[in-house]
Chain A
Amino acid sequence: MLLFILKRLAQVVPVIFGVTLVVFLIMQMVPGDPAIIMAGEGASTETVEQLREDLGLNEPLHVQYFSYIGNILQGSLGNSLKNNQPVLDEILIRLPITMELAFFSILITIVLGLTAGIISAVKPYSVSDISVMVVALLGISLPSFWLGLLLMYTFSIKLQWLPVAGWDSFAHIILPAITLGAGGAAIVARMTRSSMLEVIGQDYVRTARAKGLKEHTIIYKHALRNALIPVITVVGLQFGSLLGGTVIVESVFAINGLGRMIVDAIRTRDIPMVQGGVLVASLVFVFVNLLVDVMYKVFNKRIDLN
């Protein structure tokens, strides 16, 4: 197991390299000169030129890239072009907010998804199954910004039950977490359903039934435990799209998280900020995936066929 974890950690290095390179190149291609944006519209050509020189933007691309990598290895993500503050400081403020949002969203994905999936699987093709699956289909097809606005309109503006936007209390978390978790919940629900139905059709569930086991014991003790294994993988994969989704949801609900920080940084061509933000988001994603793989191994150990 330790060896497995070490191996996976070793794979992280090239992934991170790739991410930094891709982000770096994309930022070069994006139109708009960061030096001009930084200096402001009316600045003189000399000022802009001086800024460009100071920021090292006149160096050849590969020199810029390697000096960036060198800084990362020394633990520095550079300074923001906007306010010259260290990027890392800003990220450390933003990241916990995004992680909190991600945590509650994935909670919703799991709890809602599993519950709905089980309800469906227990009575396939019944009214409850079909309704759950129709809602799940909607959940998958609705774009999250639309769902977010819809929820905001209903619960914050019309009913006034919950705050419209911001990030001050638990009440603020509810709508964004639902918005972000809904798509995943729908996918988990469908996966749980099909996985459960497969297990319920197995002969060992029939023999359990033939022994006179109560139906709910059959579902929870025999079927669900075996059905959960593929669901874990799906939850892990969902986390990736969930991180991507924070960008949109944080913008819709005006949450000052990492996602919104990256969007703002892109708008102002704050290259170090974008690079730092994406790098940290990628690291989080890679480590969560590692965690999921370890969990999968632990769960699955007993049926690992050597």
Chain B
Amino acid sequence: MNTLLSSKKPILKVSNLKQYFIVKREALFQPKQVVKAVDGISFDLYPGETLSIVGESGCGKSTTGRSILHLDEPTEGEILYKDVSLTEMSKKELRNIRGDIQVIFQDPFASLNPRRTIRQMLDEAMAIQKVLPPKQREARMLELMQNVGLRPEYLERYPHEFSGGQRQRIGIARALAVNPKVIICDEAVSALDVSIQAQILNLLKRLQNDFDLTFLFISHDLSIVKHISDRVMVMYLGKIVEISDKASLFKNPLHPYTKALLSAIPVIDQTIKRERILLKGDVPSPLNPPTGCRFHTRCPFATDLCRDEEPLLRELESGHLVACHFAEKLSAI
């Protein structure tokens, strides 16, 4: 994958993306508070790959996805899609290109408008992006239903008539309707039963192959990430702490936080012995993140340097980047 990646041009290039939110004041004269949900992250997404974003709740995974989709205007930074800056586009240009980047959300109940039939949803999607003239849409709709494994007569039904797994299939069909290149899956299977999760994951993989899709796959479930990703990006409090191809990351995690996350997944293979690293305390508030390395309040290896100086994300091995002052030393452990 690595050699393959370096020869390709990224389809999506995120540079120094920052997304700050001003939180509502609770008292009248309290100063305005700023949540730095995403605080200067850069990464590339290559055509045809699945890049996963993992990290604890609140670390900025969904925010990253929403910024790329321009559902929230980024505070700072640039997002290049096929070398064109989404951040500098006019509203109209942006609307036209939106079909290329689609999203599937976690909650299959909330992500479908309860008052529209499946046909209305698919038709609307195709109409906006002018995918096909009205006459040819019917055939395309049937094809889409087949693609996601739903019976064609379901087109006339409303979302509440379906199970969670079926709804997620509808969400996928709707995303596919506009012929996207990139799909952001934000916890797309997290709300489903384990057996249904596997079905949907397999469906996503098949569709990726059939339609040359690129996935940005947001999840907090490492076993799912291990199953579906080509590369993995680990976030902590709005920063990327490690990014690497999957094999290298799972075999040889370099960042203490990644090590801790990985040590928390149960290991089936008994020959692999792993020390379980327990993290001290809770994730600090993104309102007031720690200085230096944001992980230093919980890192077992933290020193004064970590408190004072922020470690940069640097390439330690080919295609394996990490943001820790002591990554070299720690990789031996």
Binding site for B on A (CB under 8 A): 125, 202-204, 206-214, 222, 225-226, 302-303, 305
Contacts and interface: CB of A to CB of B under 8 A. Distances in A.
Contacts of A211: 98-99, 102, 124-125, 128-129, 174, 178
B276 interface: no
B69 interface: yes
B46 interface: no
Interface in B11-28: 24
Interface of B: 24, 66, 69, 71, 94-99, 101-103, 105-107, 110-115, 124-125, 128-129, 158, 160, 171, 174-175, 178
A201 to B, nearest CB: 9
B71 A214 contact: no
A225 B115 CA distance: 8
A34 B222 CA distance: 83
B105 A303 contact: no
A71 B111 CA distance: 59
B99 A208 contact: no
Given A209-B71, A210-B71, A211-B128, A203 B101 contact: no
Given A206-B103, A207-B171, A303-B160, 13 more contacts: A203-B107, A206-B66, A206-B105, A207-B175, A208-B113, A209-B98, A212-B96, A212-B99, A213-B124, A226-B114, A226-B115, A302-B160, A303-B115
A213 B178 CA distance: 12
17 contacts: A202-B110, A202-B111, A203-B110, A206-B71, A206-B105, A206-B111, A207-B103, A207-B105, A210-B69, A211-B99, A211-B125, A211-B128, A212-B97, A212-B129, A213-B95, A222-B113, A303-B160
Contacts of B129: 211-212
Contact of A210 (B103, B107, B114, B160): B103
A209 B66 CA distance: 11
Q: Count chain B CB atoms within 10 A of each CB in A203, A204, A210, A226 and give the residue with the most.
A: A210
B136 to A, nearest CB: 19
B100 to A, nearest CB: 10
A305 B98 contact: no
Contacts of A212: 94-99, 128-129, 178
A209 B178 CA distance: 13
B69 to A, nearest CB: 5
